[in-house]
Amino acid sequence: MLVRILYTILLTIVAPLLVISLYKKRDNKPPFGKRWKEHFGICPKYNGSSQPIWIHAVSVGESIAAIPLIRTIKQSNPKQNIVVTTTTSTGAAQIEKLGDLVEHRYMPIDFTWAINGFLNAIKPSQLLIIETELWPNTLHQLGKKHIPITVVNARLSEKSCQNYEKVGRLFKQMQENIDQILCQSEADAKRFARLGVNNQKLQITGSIKFDIQISNNIQQQGRLLREHIGSDRPVWIAASTHAGEDEIILSSHRKILDKNKDALLIIVPRHPERFNDVYQLSIGARFNVARRTVTDSLNQSTQVYLADTMGEMLILLSSADICFMGGSLLGKKVGGHNLLEPTATGIASVTGPSYFNFQDITESLLDHKLVTIASTPDEIAASIEHLWQQNPSETRQRCESFMSLYGGAIAKTLKLLE
């Protein structure tokens, strides 16, 4: 009790900074508009015919991961009502793609009064948390109301585990209210056990991100984009890049152009507020740059194609030959991003040496020779050049075999949720 009171006092102190960061206007970030009140538990009541499942997916990555699970739940039980919360407006934009399958609300800030306002309006039958977004007061209030809580697709990096160990008493109180933790890997389960979670609560389902479904529509859009780019041009994509990485990527592309004058780099900054910065950086480096949001700007002379849109990653990946995954060149700052999306589209990847947030997935891909580690412009350029020499049909086949080998997490998850 005391430790949660101290946590709430600390949250009260830092909440203004969190709110300022959340509502700060940024380029290409959808506005919250009048719905900002939902972060304070003031939200429209849910008027469905039965209590909904509440699924929380904090932002874009978790929302994308949740979508196949949501679709499968609705397919197996069309009458099942679902309310999805996100913290960010960019996450909300992803959930909007589900249309009438779900209702969306913004996640209330972790104050008891805000959580209770939300619970009184929604009255969920259970909560599914995507990955590991754990809030002490939220879990406590759901526990008091005997609402089951399951952490789905749970992952816990060594760094996060060590951070939780520093607040061991608080984590102990949180985990007591959790009914199940469905882990991506055995390593994740061991870390949760290390924090004191009862083994009976831990199950290993694999990652639901392995169950990526590339729709015919996305494949068709990818093919059309590739035709527009030029079917015979070598194309690589730098996905989810962070500040400090773009310079390395552009330098790598300059070296690639020395050998392949027709090569095209598609660069996809992780955060939309950086789109203009990356554009100016590319122009300053004397590349011929086109922006995806500028119609007809892409042509045969384009050297860098800036993907300044959101939610199109699978389309862009489907148009490329090779992927470099960002967030992996910044040491301990980020820890990489998920390599399963390029694998699902049938292309091999290159990543930097910092991938601790996705260690198990990356190491499995290394075992299957579907990813290469590189850190300098010379190494990245050489790795891209080497992968271009491989047979794309064979690579695609190996990617499909890999995804099939590790797939099935959604089916396992639904069985445990029953």
The catalytic residues are: 62
Please name every residue paired with 236 in a beta bridge, in sequence order, or none if there are none: 265, 322
* CA proximity to 35, closest of 94, 107, 102: 107
Rg of the chain over Cα atoms, rounded to whole angstroms, equals 22
The number of C-alpha atoms within 13 Å of 71 and in the hemisphere containing its C-beta is 15
Find the largest Cα–Cα distance for the chain: 65
- The answer to whether 303 touches 289, Cβ cutoff 8 Å, is yes
- Residue 49 burial (10 A CB sphere; 0-12, 13-18, 19+): exposed
What is the rounded distance in angstroms from the CA atom of residue 407 to the CA atom of residue 417? Answer: 18
Contact predicate 208/153, CB 8 Å: yes
Rounded Cα distance, 363 and 410, in Å:
22
Q: Which residues contact 188 (CB under 8 A, 6 or more apart)?
A: 154, 155, 156, 204, 360
- With CA atoms as reference, report the closest residue to 406 among 180, 191, 131, 185: 185
Q: Exposed (0-12), middle (13-18) or buried (19+): which is 215, by Cβ within 10 Å?
A: exposed
The candidate with the shortest Cα–Cα distance to 324, out of 270, 272, 284, 367, is 270
